Structure 1
Amino acid sequence: MAFLDGCSPADSVRLCRSAGSFVEAAAQAEDYFSSDSASQSGQFFRNNRAERENRAEQVLDWCRHNQVTCLNLLDPDYPPLLLELSVPPPLLFIRGDAQLLSMPQIAIVGSRNASPGGLGNARAFAAALAASGFVITSGLALGIDGAAHDGALQTGKTIAVLGTGLDVIYPRRHDDLYRRIISQGGAVVSEFLPETPPFAGNFPRRNRIISGLSLGILVVEAALKSGSLITARYGLEQGREVFAIPGSIHSAFSKGTHQLLKQGATLVESAADIAEQLGGLLASMAPDVKTGQPPPTEAGQVLLEAMGFDPVDMDMLVQRTAMSVNTLTQELLLLELEGAIAVGQGIYQRLR
């Protein structure tokens, strides 16, 4: 059915659920697509059955040779939360530990062009939540997604959901991350057949899987037109909890998260905030992402308070602190080494 022109995932799910098996669903699909309303697709279906069966066998051979698990929505190991979707993916291709898909998951998503502070928050929240027992799920994209996967691998497991076939790593620069996820006991998942390229229309479908697998979605940073807001919207439609980290009112990367907060998302400042809301013993196990940092010097603390959480330059810091440029340079270097601030192109951003 996956090779039948005109047979959408919604058609496959509807026929499969009514028939009770994919074999019977395929027979019903032949009758349906040979009707007057779908004659062209039906002709394709009847006249190319041998070709389609050959292509399906090739995909199964590829799965066997590449240690890929293929689950259909009637498989007992199919993730139960995905079954709650109105149109769950008819097929899932999984590289790595397929059982992770049924474990409690938190999705962490956000901007591809993230700020240093956003990347740090994504890593810290992912590491803390993974240490508490949650699997961290994201989309392997640049920016927040990659940082979330990387943070989760420091303390636990992560799942990457792709908008391509499993054999198409996108973006290419995440080739090493893709392989680390698998080698460290995680999983890479796709509903798309092997060799499927990164078409733009694939990524909203990927986003609905990310939210569908998860108990909650954390949006770290997002512009108003960010794809991560699509994931959050899917999550709300699916009855999932949506969390957002607030940011500077002057940052474009905070506009999307602030919009979510206005619409009722839960404001979070630590991983414990998420674990407490999602309940159970995980709440008491979750470390706070704000702990474990060395305290700044007295001058450093004064400097942090003068910086606030909006980007500032050296001239502004001189005005606010009355410190010399030499003193400021030394303290800023110490704060950067401690991970308290990020520096880029002469602009300083407080991180904690």
Structure 2
Amino acid sequence: MARDELVAWLRLLEAPRVGRDSARKLLAAFGSPHAVIAASEAARRHVVGSGAAASLAQVPGLEALVDGTWEWLAGDSQRHVITLGDPAYPALLLETADPPLLLYAQGRTELLHAPAIAIVGSRNPTPQGASNAKAFASTLSRAGLTVVSGLALGVDAAAHEGALLESAATIAVVGTGLDRVYPRQHRELAHRIAHQGLIVSEYPLGTPPLQHNFPLRNRIIAGLSRGTLVVEAALGSGSLITARLAVEAGREVFAVPGSIHAPQARGCHALIRQGAKLVETAQDILEELGCGTPAAAGGTSGAADRLADPLLEALGHDPVTLDALVARTGWPAQDLNARLLELELEGHVARLPGQLFQRVATG
């Protein structure tokens, strides 16, 4: 992209009274950012009204933003600005109701054109939920699907980690400028994604983690993907927003069921009642989407499910109390505690708040 083209795009998109809808109307009316800027204020006023039309004449901080963006692009050949009409712009995203007019990207931009699945869920998942997210992501990536998520704590991070184990890699859609990492503890993960996968944002460099930006970025997560898998989600969570946006874009929605006693499962159960497809293995998703090799998908039950351990069988897959395990197994509490500690150290059991135990799939 030439510098004068970058100036025109940033002037259009960062003008204080020109939002996404007004920018889209101006582009439809005049054909390009250059033409919008070159048009008279009176001509622009006929399209978007006086306030937006006038604000394009003077955009605070524009010169510094252009300079910073230009330096950022020059600093790494893997950094890109992708606009509507650019061959690199993802076709699936163009099919949505509100595609971003400009994307900042760092990494493997070819992933924007690869078949993808979004994996989203709770920022505070159960150990089993995080394990499920990582296992689904790894298996789906192995079958050829790029995993899209939002770099958030919990399920998002587990999904990215699982995908990075395989060749199809992952896309992180973030709610800040690409010169920021949020949350901070994901700095190392973000760097790995930038080198092995792709990070994208519609927000200009320097944009901090503003709360209202994160629900908006969810439309990009859903829009880049052929389907969205919700692993764990409480009622009212942002993951349900992503699922709704996927439905509105005509994409599939999948949900992993959980315990009826777990708050993190209620959102998934609500989605299933509303028509989302209940899935237990990655193969369920691959068959529904008609892609990948079912044999490659296998299941997500993992090594722990293959162990013929009577205590693991007694645990089942829902959180359970020690007293319930005593009743199920007939073992003394002291012996149970000792064996549970061994399984916890091996990574097969997680100890939850409230003196609960839960079996964890590890493969």
Task: Please give the TM-score of this superposition, normalised by the length of structure 1.
Answer: 0.91
RMSD: 2.3
**One-letter code aligned to 1:90:** L
Residue in 2 that maps onto 1:159: 171
Tell me if the contact between 1:32 and 1:38 (Cα under 8 Å) persists in the aligned partners.
no
5+ residue gaps, structure 1, are none
Post-superposition offset of 1:161: 0.4
Post-superposition offset of 1:240: 0.6
Question: Which whole-Å deviations, capped at 9, do the CAs of 1:233-291 have from their partners, x for residues lacking one?
Answer: 00000001000000000010011000000000000001111111111344443232225
Post-superposition offset of 1:79: 0.4
Residue in 2 that maps onto 1:322: 330
Measure the CA separation in 2 of the matches of 1:91 and 1:12.
11
Tell me if the contact between 2:232 and 2:264 (Cα under 8 Å) persists in the aligned partners.
yes
Task: Please give the TM-score of this superposition, normalised by the length of structure 2.
Answer: 0.88
Tell me if the contact between 2:15 and 2:59 (Cα under 8 Å) persists in the aligned partners.
no
Post-superposition offset of 1:295: 3.3
**For 2:254, what is the secondary structure of its paired residue?**
strand
Post-superposition offset of 1:57: 4.7
Residue in 2 that maps onto 1:232: 243
Post-superposition offset of 1:335: 3.6
Measure the CA separation in 2 of the matches of 1:334 and 1:325.
14
**One-letter code aligned to 1:60:** W
- Of stretches 306-315 and 328-337 in structure 1, the one that deviates more from structure 2 is 328-337
**One-letter code aligned to 1:150:** E
Instruction: Within 5 Å, give how 1:263-282 maps onto structure 2.
Output: 263-282=274-293
Post-superposition offset of 1:312: 1.6
**For 1:155, what is the secondary structure of its paired residue?**
coil
Question: Given the alignment, which residue of 190, 208, 212 partners 2:219?
Answer: 208
Please tell me whether residue 63 in structure 1 is matched to residue 73 in structure 2. Answer: yes
Post-superposition offset of 1:8: 1.1
Question: Which whole-Å deviations, capped at 9, do the CAs of 1:4-47 have from their partners, x for residues lacking one?
Answer: 1211112222332444333224445844554697334433322x
| Structure 1 residues 65 and 325: alpha-carbon distance in aligned structure 2, compared to 1, 3 A threshold | same
Tell me if the contact between 2:150 and 2:221 (Cα under 8 Å) persists in the aligned partners.
yes
Instruction: Within 5 Å, give how 1:232-271 maps onto structure 2.
Output: 232-271=243-282
Post-superposition offset of 1:3: 2.2
Post-superposition offset of 1:93: 0.2
5+ residue gaps, structure 2, are 1-11
Please tell me whether residue 304 in structure 1 is matched to residue 312 in structure 2. Answer: yes
Question: Following superposition, which runs of at least 4 residues in structure 1 exceed 4 angstroms of deviation?
Answer: 28-37, 291-294
Tell me if the contact between 2:117 and 2:146 (Cα under 8 Å) persists in the aligned partners.
yes
Instruction: Within 5 Å, give how 1:1-352 maps onto structure 2.
Output: 1-28=12-39, 30-31=41-42, 33-34=44-45, 38-46=49-57, 48=58, 52=62, 55-67=65-77, 68-156=79-167, 157-183=169-195, 185-293=196-304, 295-297=306-308, 300-301=309-310, 303-337=311-345, 339-345=347-353, 346-352=355-361
Question: Which whole-Å deviations, capped at 9, do the CAs of 1:87-134 have from their partners, x for residues lacking one?
Answer: 210100001111111111110000101111100000100111111111
Measure the CA separation in 1 of the matches of 2:241 and 2:296.
30
- Of stretches 196-205 and 51-60 in structure 1, the one that deviates more from structure 2 is 51-60
Q: How many residues align?
A: 347
